[in-house]
Structure 1
Amino acid sequence: MSVVGFDVGNESCIVAVARQRGIDVVLNDESKRETPAIVCFGEKQRFIGTAGAASSTMNPKNSVSQIKRLLGRKFSDPAVQRDIQSFPFKVTEGPDESLLIHANYLGELRTFTPTQVLAMILSNLKSIAEKNLNAAVVDCCIGIPVYFNDLQRRAMLDASTIAGLHPLRLFHETTATALAYGIYKTDLPENDQINVAFVDAGHASMQVCIASYKKGQLKILAHSYDQSLGGRDFDEAIFKYFAAKFKDEYKIDVYQNARACIRLRAACEKLKKVLGANPEAPMNIECLMDEKDVRGFMKREEFEQISLPILERVKGPLEKALAEARLGQENIHSVEVVGSGSRIPAIIKILTDFFGKEPRRTMNASECVARGCALECAILSPTFKVREFQVHDSFPFSIALLWKETATDSGSGGTENQHSTAVFPKGNPIPSVKSLTFFRSGTFSVDVVYADAGDSQIPAKISTVTIGPFQLSARERAKVKAKVRLNLHGIVSIDSATVEYSKKKAKKTNIPAVETVYGALSSDELQKAIKKEFEMALQDRVMEETKDRKNAVEAYVYDMRNKLHDKYEAFVTTSEKDELIAKLQEVEDWLYEDGEDETMGVYVAKLEELRKQGTPIEERYSEWTERTPAIDQLDYCINSFRAAALSNDSKLDHIELAEKQKVVSECCEAEAWLREKQQQQDALPKYANPVLLSGDIKRKTEALDEFCKPIMTKPQPASPKGQTPGDQSQASELQNQGEDGPVESMAHEGSQVSPATDAEPMDTD
């Protein structure tokens, strides 16, 4: 069972795995700890992660990134509208205000949902984990922002299913950070509690949580966030500054060139990081646009000035978190800051001034979420035994139920009335279950809604649950109990309902509770997405294998040509050499012209064609290098067995003379065969096909060993009655000497494969 944690960031992703010795961050194929969260669609395949980032500069309009910002969102969302203005790829409105991403893939324009693109990224992360663990990865824990609404959480689960993953929990990123911080603490108080503020200044958002710790326990007191305050906003401020500067100084408008925008944004992010440690930083970009090199310069004071509107928003989530936790700054024991934005000095100064203490960086700012997720996965998994540590997380939203009652339902006259009740208030523990009772005369519906939908990025209604039907007699009312569940993922559902009739003996009966989630994928749509991802993954594998075959042809050309002038030179005739070199040159020219873009079968056939000429040469060289050690091994076997059979060693007196003579005869026959073949081989030049093959010599050695060994290791007969203990001891000593003596060693001396390689070790007992 896999124990894996995934931190799926807006810009990059990290994979952590639990091992017996602790938590390790996994390296990708490029030996990097972070993998870009990007998918680049090509003419023949997809490029995901590091490969996608490498391809994005040349193919920006088909490179999809920052997908986490689009997951589970509506096209009319103001935040979505702001984001898509800076994206190089095209986003349009789909059914029910959903989002559709456009990209050229396999030579035609196709559309993908954010859930599908996220599934591609998760599939790549799954592959990274599987290569590291050398095992299938299914169970995992995935970090999500605390502000993810119900639809976004469901979309993350759908993307995981498409990728072949089964999350044991969608874990709040700040809670994962708090777990990674606290579980290793050995100085937590027994009865009292300490409060720690965690500030995650990420690439696209800012999240804050207040956590209290006791020994073996973590409790989240408050969550707060700003969904649109992150490192990328600072990057964008620098981008706009230099875009205007370059337009004025160099007369180029980067907004008109997607590739130029990508390169300038990358340079702005780099400049921001340099300013985090230095008072000033330069910017130099070659051939940014219209073959013009550009230069720029910025001081930290200038950076903070243009970023002032962003910096003024930092205090908002801090004040909100303290207010919800009902704590003052003096009640905060320490402040931990993580995320890419934690490197901005201006943010650190704001935090220091607000809390009255300097924030600490005791954890790896980029890896703490993935580590916390891997720890939570280990806690939930039966595979690992983890130190006893309880995690009490809280829900960041208020959830209510809405329903309507008619005169028949209420038992009195009047019109239809709407009722509501808050089932999970903000800060409610995760997971939780509540039971609600309704008195109904027939099938009815209940809406699951956000009680406080003041945030424009949170939809008002989550789902509608239809409860019923159930049988009733005339004018009879039934007591219906519905179980409302807030699960580990932070998803709300009415998963069961029972009915109890008021005029009958109390007897509960299960009745249907059918849920309709607004904006979520249907089961049919999910299955289609799974099938589509399988087809695309298969196409990727075919193309990767095709590249491998092409590379194999190219490698063979270069390798064989070099060896023909070096180690193979004596093993090939002049005509063979010239002919093969000409063939190699012909294939090399073909590779860079007509063979640049061929199918896998063509490359396989081309390699086989070359090997028909090259393999005989390789075999001659191989036989020459292996022949002498094989001859030495056979000689040693012949001489050892023959010497033992002809010796007067008293330890071998129990073997009959006729049997020993058979051994001698067999050794002489093998020796005669070897000498005859050696004479024939010595008469041939190296470029001739050999007549004495190393395989034949090894088989002759094995046959001789199989014939002689049972005879020469025949055990001594049992001691006769009346033998003294000393005689028995002497017989035993002789027998043991036989085990370790020359008979046993003849089949094992030297570093070469012994004649008894495939046989059982000799035993004289």
Structure 2
Amino acid sequence: FDIGNESCVIAAAKRGGVDVLLNDESKRETPAVVSFGDKQRFLGAAGAAFAMSNPKSTISQIKRLIGKVYKEVVEELKLLPFVTSEGPRGGILIELEYLKTKRCFTPVEILGMLFKHLKQITEKNLESSVVDCVIGIPPYFTDLQRRMYLDAALIAGLNPLRLMHDGTAIALGYGMYKTDLSNSGPTYVMFVDIGHCDTQVTVAAFEQGNMTILAHSFDQNLGGRDFDDVIFNHFAAQFNEKHKIDIYSNARASVRLRASCEKVKKVLSANAEAPLSIECLIGDTDVRGLITREEFESLSSKLLERVIVPCRMALKDSRLRVDQLYTIELVGSGSRIPAITRILTSFLKKEPTRTLNASECVARGCALFCAMLSPTLKVRDYKIKESFPYSIVIPSPQGEFMVFPKGNPFPNQMMITYDGNTSHRFQLVYIKERDFPAGISHIAGCFEIGISEPSDAEDVKVQFRVKLNEHGIVVIDSATILEDNRHSGRPVHSYLRKLMMANSHTLNLPVSENLDVSTTNDELVKAEEKEKMLTAHDIKVEETKDQRNTLESFVYDTRSKLSGVYQSFATDLEKEVITNNLQETEDWLYEDSDDESEQDYSGRLEELKKLLEPIENKYNEANAIEKATKSLRSFIAKCHSHADSLPADKKEKVKNVCAETEQWLVNALSQKHPSAKTLLTDLNHAIELLERDCKSIIRSKSSYSRHEEPVGSDQRNQTIESDPKAQSVDMVNAGIKALQACIAKYYSHAGSLPADKKEKVNNVYTEAQQLLLNAFSHKELSPNTLANYINHVIEDVERKCKSIISSKPSFQRHEKPEDSDKRDQPMNSDERDQPMDTGQTHKSAASDQRDQPMDTDQTHKSADSDQKDQPMDTDQRDPQNDI
């Protein structure tokens, strides 16, 4: 995360590289703004939209308030549009009205809200929970400010792996991808970052696989906003003289003018002059003005001179000359002013380059370092040696004891020993230099090493270890008391005896930390709970708004449908009742529903849906009937098309079946049905019946043979028929044919039966099929035995089906007697669109019986059928009646 004074940038490391994440408005930069509305908070881009309409409850530039002492920055706070006051320990409190009550928030709490918003954006983009992160901070942040950033991240539910200096993050993003580095020695690069509120200069030395930060320098009060203030003050004075209006006393007018001045500055970066025009700035007063680039640079001359100061200090601290610099990289949102480039070129004797993304390079470097710390991502090994910009000392009456000198690499630690026999309280402080931030405590840490009772030992020393950890925060890692009792005949004090081990001369001591304006643990817990409550309230408000919008959309949508697609399905009375309810709901929405809950909106919505439900059902049923009708007509047309390629007798039968179905459809649509559901059921059944009948016709044998029987076929038939074994086989085949006809007859009835009866008929069919399969599996059975068994199965099927069927189907086509034994089972749904098989080749029963072995899966006629002279179909097998 790059938390800027004006905007924030989020970057995430993925397996393909580092990506900058987009916010809800699909923008790469998110305003660092938190606005408190009448009912909820608005963060980021949503909060920035209220900056002009609600300036006193819109908090911005929070980065400038972190860790500041109120009394030291009173004058600067007066320039902000919101109200501030002094906190309980000298810090800053932000006062505003929220949910109709006066609320106070600390800068840490506001920063925590901003972190929470950035966390939500990240999780939405990555579609996963996010906890670990690296946060960019200015190098001039003190111990207190760094601790407050960590506290704010914890409030948001984040776990910062590292607080990383902005300049170091920029250098990492530059050096990691730099492949043309010299092998003869370090490559020195200066990075000049001019942001919204500060200027940072970092000098780094690059080698293959590592980089070393040589120096950090900065001016915390020189940034893009200071150049905006130059233009703001110019026009404020001009309008005061011309229109007699005081811009400074009107918060809303100040916000509007500052926003316009920022646009003017951007225009001057590419143009020689820029106009300014604002309507109704104060009251009905319209203002207009013009400023040239020359005027702007003249007004900003003192600011431009300050740009080279941190550059000079960075060169001094790094002990480099200008000619040793390989290049100067210029980044930051405030670096686009042409005069800045010109003055840097004059001082450094080289024109700055812009190979890095000016607004995103810090966030990209932080994401890259986070990937290096992550165990789940593999990143090329790259070593970083960081530099701390301040000297840290322990003051004493004898003088200052240097602990960490300026430029000291960190993380780092140091062991300190002093003589003492009592508790000792001491401070670690920053040495205040010229560039030390104003309004910030110079105390790096305040610690007390506790000894409850003095020791009787002659020689007592206290040793403790001071660490400058990975975040740049000072901590006391451990403290130990060292005793020497060898020259003392006196016993060791009772308190020490309890704590010391036998023959040991060391004792661990308790260390307490005391920072006057730091967030306490209790305050941190309360802040976390407060943030959770505020977030839950925001979510509830958003859900209520969504439900209100849903109800509003339903009102407009229903009103449109009543005069459109629903018009023919609703009676005049129904239309009148629903229209009145819609109008009543609309009036309630715009007049009395501002304070209603989500349940109120959902209740109104359900009431309207119940009124509309009968009409919707009629409409949906009509659509379903129309769809089924189109499907039936489409299948009739397909059957007609396939029939043209069939033999004459089959073609005629298919045409007749199609004509009969078509006539039934005309009659069904013209008649009045008890309900649309009944008609829909009949249409679906008609489709199934047409499918079944057409397939049955196509698979049945033609009344003539396509090939002329060879000479002597009559004689062969007589020979086979006179053979007893052939006659037995014929009996079996005839029995199978009779069983098939029986099952087909009752299966056709089952299509119009209720679901339970239809299932029972299907079970009878399945049972009969299984019985025959079991019988044919016994090869030792004779054909006569099989024929008798088949007749027994036929009788059983007849008996069971007659007992099941008690009513006729709602739609049943009249079946001709001569076709009853040729009807096949209905086609599967996936066979409906397959081309019909019209090219089958059939043989006579005599030639089949002579040339092929008996096929128990063939379809045969009943022994007592009057159609026994027709040839058997040995080439087709019914997939659903596989007997």
TM-score range, shorter-chain basis? 0.7 to 0.9
Q: Structure 1, residues 594-624: CA drift from partner, whole Å, max 9, x if none? A: 1234222221222122111123323333344
Partner of 2:69 in structure 1?
Answer: 74
Query: Aligned in 2, Cα 1:608/1:396: closer, same or farther, shift over 3 Å?
Result: same
- Residues 691-750 of structure 1 show CA distances to partners (whole Å, capped at 9, x for unaligned) of xxxxx9xx9999999999999999x99x999xxxxxxxxxxxxxxxxxxxx999744877
Q: Deviations over 1:165-189 (max 9, x none)?
A: 1111111111111111221122223
Residue of structure 2 in register with 1:276 after alignment: 269
| Contact preservation (8 Å) 1:14, 1:367 | yes
2:165 alignment counterpart? 172
Letter in 1 for 2:524: L
TM-score (structure 2 length as normaliser):
0.72
Deviation at 1:58, TM superposition (A): 1.0
The C-alpha deviation readout for 1:279-321, integer Å capped at 9, x for no partner, is: 1111111221111222111110011111112112111101000
What amino acid maps onto 2:223 in structure 1? Answer: G
Moved more, 6-15 or 465-474: 465-474
Please name the residue that 2:82 is paired with. Answer: 89
**C-alpha displacement at 1:220, in angstroms?**
0.8
Q: Whole-Å Cα distance in 2 between the matches of residues 149 and 314 of structure 1? A: 22
Please name the residue that 2:122 is paired with. Answer: 129
Rounded Cα–Cα distance in structure 1 between residues aligned with 2:68 and 2:612:
60
Does 1:422 find its partner at 2:502?
Answer: no
| 1:45-81 C-alpha deviation (Å, 9 max, x unpaired) | 111111111112111111111010000100122xx23
| Candidates 203, 206, 213, aligned match of 1:210 | 203
Aligned to 2:464: 482
User: Secondary structure at 1:552's aligned position in 2?
Assistant: helix
- Are 2:56 and 1:64 equivalent residues in the alignment? no
Tell me if structure 2 keeps the 8 A contact 1:638–1:670: no
SS across alignment from 1:195: strand
Tell me which residue corresponds to 1:16: 11
Q: Cα deviations across residues 454-475 of structure 1 (Å, max 9, x unaligned)?
A: 5344423232212233777513
1:236-635 equivalence runs, <5 A: 236-402=229-395, 418=398, 420-452=400-432, 455=436, 456-469=438-451, 473-503=455-485, 505=503, 508-626=506-624
Runs of at least 5 residues in structure 2 that lack an aligned partner in the other structure:
487-502, 633-683, 702-732, 779-824, 835-879
Matched, 1:41 2:50: no
- The 8 Å contact of residues 199 and 220 in structure 2, kept in 1 or not, is answered as yes
Q: Which residue of structure 2 lines up, in the alignment, with residue 680 of structure 1?
A: none
* Matches of 1:542 and 1:703, distance apart in 2: 54
Which residue identity does 2:253 align to in structure 1?
Answer: A
Q: Confirm or deny: 8 A CA contact 1:432 1:486 kept in the other structure.
A: yes
2:333, 2:3 → 1: CA distance? 14
State how 1:170-209 maps to structure 2 within 5 Å. 170-190=163-183, 192-209=185-202
> Is 2:688–2:826's contact at 8 Å kept on the other side of the alignment?
no
Counterpart residue type for residue 606 of structure 2 = E
Larger Rg: 2
Q: Match of 1:688?
A: none
How many Å separate the matches in 2 of 1:477 and 1:318? 51
Of all paired residues, the percent bearing the same amino acid is 46
**2:146 is aligned with 1:146:** no
Give 1:54's aligned residue.
Answer: 49
The 3-state SS of whatever aligns with 1:396 is coil
Deviations 1:206-241 (A, max 9, x none): 000001111121211100000000000111110111
Q: How many residues align?
A: 686
Q: 2: distance between equivalents of 1:310 and 1:11? A: 20
Q: Aligned to 2:192, what secondary structure does the other structure show?
A: strand
Q: Distance in 2 between matches of 1:351 and 1:611?
A: 69
Aligned partner letter, 1:88 = P
Relative to structure 1, is the Cα distance of residues 575 and 215 closer, same or farther in structure 2, using a 3 angstrom cutoff? Answer: same
Distance 1:507 1:301, change over 3 A: same
Runs (5+) with no aligned partner, structure 1:
1-5, 404-416, 675-695, 722-741, 752-761
Query: Whole-Å Cα distance in 2 between the matches of residues 391 and 313 of structure 1?
Result: 30
CA shift, 1:533, in A, is 1.2
Say which structure, 1 or 2, has more relative contact order (CA 8 Å, 6+ apart).
Answer: 1
| 2: CA distance, partners of 1:419 / 1:706 | 104
Q: Equivalent residue of 2:245, what SS? A: coil
1:663-702 equivalent positions in 2, closer than 5 A:
664=744, 668-669=748-749, 671-672=751-752
CA contact (8 A) 1:399 1:422 kept: yes
AA at the equivalent of 1:438? Y
Q: Evaluate the alpha carbon distance shift between residue 750 and residue 172 of structure 1 in structure 2; reply closer, same or farther with a 3 A threshold.
A: farther
Per-residue deviation, 1:499: 3.3
Q: Measure, in 1, the Cα distance between the counterparts of 2:315 and 2:155.
A: 39
> How much has 1:664 moved relative to structure 2?
4.9
- 8 Å CA contact 2:55–2:81 kept in 1: the answer is yes
Using the TM superposition, give the Cα deviation of residue 510 of structure 1 relative to its aligned residue in structure 2, in angstroms.
Answer: 2.9
C-alpha separation between the residues in 2 aligned to 1:190 and 1:10? Answer: 39
Q: By percentage of residues, which structure has more strand?
A: 1
Shift in alpha-carbon separation, 1:244–1:506, aligned structure 2, 3 A: same
Q: Answer yes or no: is the 8 Å Cα contact 1:436–1:481 preserved in 2.
A: yes
Q: Secondary structure at the match of 2:328?
A: strand
| Contact 1:500-1:507 within 8 A present in 2 as well | yes
> What letter matches 1:51 in structure 2?
A
In structure 2, the CA distance between the partners of 1:184 and 1:744, relative to structure 1 (3 Å rule), is farther
Distance 1:328 1:428 in 2: 21
Letter in 2 for 1:99: I
> What is the CA–CA distance in structure 1 between the aligned matches of 2:189 and 2:49, rounded to whole Å?
40
1:96 Cα offset (Å): 2.4
Does the 8 Å contact 1:182/1:213 carry over to 2? Answer: yes
Does the C-alpha gap of structure 1 residues 707 and 543 become closer, same or farther in structure 2, counting only changes over 3 Å? farther
RMSD: 3.6
Task: Output the CA distance in 2 between the equivalents of 1:313 and 1:591.
Answer: 58
Do the aligned residues in 1 keep the contact of 2:467 with 2:474 (CA within 8 Å)?
A: yes
Q: Structure 2 CA distance, aligned partners of 1:371 and 1:246?
A: 43
Task: State the Cα deviation string for residues 334-392 of structure 1 (Å, max 9, x = none).
Answer: 11111111110111111111111111111111111111111111111112111211222
2: CA distance between counterparts of 1:700 and 1:144? 78
Letter in 1 for 2:62: I
- The equivalent of 2:96 in structure 1 is 103
Normalised by the length of structure 1, the TM-score is 0.82
**Distance (whole Å) between structure 1 residues aligned to residue 232 and residue 571 of structure 2:** 66
Measure the CA separation in 1 of the matches of 2:82 and 2:299. 27
1:270, CA displacement in angstroms? 0.4
Q: Say if 1:712 and 1:743, in contact at 8 Å, map to a contact too.
A: no
- Tell me if structure 1 keeps the 8 A contact 2:163–2:471: yes
Tell me: CA distance 1:143–1:663, structure 2 relative to 1, closer, same or farther (3 Å): farther
SS in 1 for 2:213: strand
SS at structure 1 position matched to 2:752: helix
1:27 to 15, 22, 26: 22
